[in-house]
Amino acid sequence: MPSVETTPAVSRAGITTSATGERHIPSSVRPDGSVRKEIRVRPGYRPPEDVELYKNRTAEGFRNRGKAGIPGAENLKKEEDPTKSSAVANKNAKRREARKKAAAEKDEEKPAEPANAVEPAEAPKPVDPEVEKEKEAKKLVKKLRQARELKDKKEKGEGLLPEQFQKVIKINELVNQLEKLGYDSQGEKKSTGTENNELVNQLEKLDLDTHGETTTAET
């Protein structure tokens, strides 16, 4: 029976092992045409290319967890009834349409708010002219008192600053402003002619003169 020639095994590093167990790298031709000689490999030497990497099966399984899927679920989708899946999809679609319709009807029921809704402004409180006059009179009386104090200092021979002197020369102006408001230079409200007439009428009804004395009837 003729012998069958076997092709020697070649490792990743290109090392060939002969039938006799000798290991060598076969000769080869370089790109430039020169011949690379055969290289013998000493026994026991294993190049890094031929060293198998150690694989931790536990770590490998941990990295691949979840990729394989659930055992026995490979053919689950194939076994599903297409008619049942279609019915479920139609049911879900009807529910979505019903929710959209209900939301649209709810929005229509809400009254539309005006685009530029403005809150009504509060009505201004009525201003009492007499109260305003009284406030203004108090301010003028205060200025007048300060001006008179400065005038007294000037008459006593004390020196005044320019702005203090300006206050002194405005005394008459302040008095005139008080009179226009119906107040005297002391800040007291003046009685008008109408008030005097009313007072006289009241005294006459009580048979009293303007000095508060009883009048005697003429015979």
Domain positions in the chain:
129-205
| Alpha carbons 63 and 68: distance in angstroms, whole number | 11
Task: Give this prediction's pTM.
Answer: 0.33
Model confidence pLDDT, tens digit, residues 3-48 = 555 556 777 777 788 778 788 788 888 889 888 888 888 887 777 7
> How confident is the model at residue 219, as a pLDDT?
41
Contact by Cβ (8 Å): 37, 27: yes
Residue 146: pLDDT band (50, 70, 90) is very high
DSSP-assigned beta bridge partners for residue 24: 16, 40
Q: What per-residue confidence (pLDDT) applies to 173?
A: 92
Which of 2-16, 81-95, 149-163, 178-192 is the most confident on average?
Answer: 149-163
Q: How many CA atoms lie within 13 A of 131 on its CB side?
A: 3
Exposed/middle/buried for residue 153 (C-beta within 10 Å: 0-12, 13-18, 19+): middle
Q: Are the CB atoms for 215 and 208 separated by under 8 Å? A: yes
* Strand bridging mode 16-17 / 28-29: unpaired
User: Which band of pLDDT confidence, cut at 50, 70 and 90, is reported for residue 80?
Assistant: low
CA dihedral sign of residues 51, 52, 54, 60:
positive
DSSP 47-110: -GGGSPPP--HHHHHHHTTTTS-STT-TTHHHHS-HHHHHHHHHHHHHHHHHHHHHHHHHHHHS
Bridge partners (DSSP) listed for residue 208: 214
What is the rounded distance in angstroms from the CA atom of residue 205 to the CA atom of residue 218? 16
Q: What are the tens digits of pLDDT across the range 112-131?
A: 565 555 666 677 777 788 88
Confidence of residue 66 (pLDDT cuts 50, 70, 90): low
Question: What is the structure's pLDDT at 183?
Answer: 85
DSSP annotation of 187 reads S
Residue 216 pLDDT: 52
- Could you tell me which residues come within 8 angstroms of residue 36 by beta carbon, excluding any fewer than 6 positions away? 27, 28, 29, 30
Do the Cβ atoms of 210 and 200 come closer than 8 Å?
Answer: yes
